[in-house]
Structure 1
Amino acid sequence: MVCVRGITREKAPFQPTCSELVLKIKSDLHLVATDDGGSLEFFAENLKRYDAPKITQEDIVLASIDENYMRELLQRIVDHFNIEYVDNLGGGGHFDVVMWILYQYTLFRNGIIKEYKPLARRESKKFTELCYSLRVISVSDEEREQILEQIYGEEEEEN
């Protein structure tokens, strides 16, 4: 799949049909197999090295009654973590799963929930729809090619 040319604020071409999603978060590369619990746990643990955007209990209440406010809250999370889309290996990745983990992490870091259990998924169809409506930057085609070469080069060395 070819990314949007250059870095843009256009919606990245996510496709919720396959499992491996390659993203940059705070400039760090993350390969997340969104249908593999071990990969999701690893991703969730790695988030602990980052700070989280400030949100309040009031934000959560407003988001629960106003879809647009929830979209804005999720967009703040995307922007704070500086998420950049790289690729969907194999054709797609479940961005909503990644966003659920980031959302849970943000709630935990702000003291809104006491336990960080990101794999206990309870998101709704509406949450999923909102995730795919967010603005996510796509890396440039050149950077994408370099990253994929790095990923596939490492896989070949392991075999």
Structure 2
Amino acid sequence: MKSRKILRLLVLPLATLIITGSSCNKDDDEPAKTKTELLTSGAWKMSAHTVNPAQDLDGDGQSDDSDVFATYDACDKDDLTSFSTNGSGIISEGATKCDPSDPASYPFTWQWSNNETVLSLLGEDFTLIELTSSTLKVSFSYSDAGSTYTETLTFTH
């Protein structure tokens, strides 16, 4: 009898905690954001740009370079890309411009295709690899001199 009372005293508060803890999960109350909402949630800054297979990006005669982003000038690394829900967008020069006579920003249009798995802009179709609230990762492929190359671009907020 005594053991039942102790068991009840332990189980009741534990069950209450489990029930109230699981019903107050904030994530359950918020609907998942659409791809357009994620894409248009703020300015994106490129954090990586790679190519596969590797190429001779540094001019040393060896096709052993895959980090395209490492070849960017500092004035290009701070550029920001913003998407609007109406299908327009802007690439901003960021804090530093490579050429003072260049415009501060460049407009573009964009659209989804293939069930929102392809992002089309600037005359190129980018395959969507990842899109979260903090990461946009896309790729595109092309052929040159009998080889097919895939470039992957990663942007973050």
Larger strand fraction of residues: 2
Q: TM > 0.5 between the two?
A: no
Which of the pair has more CA radius of gyration? 2
Higher relative contact order by CA 8 Å / sep ≥ 6: 1 or 2? 1
TM normalised by structure 2 equals 0.23
Larger helix share, 1 or 2: 1
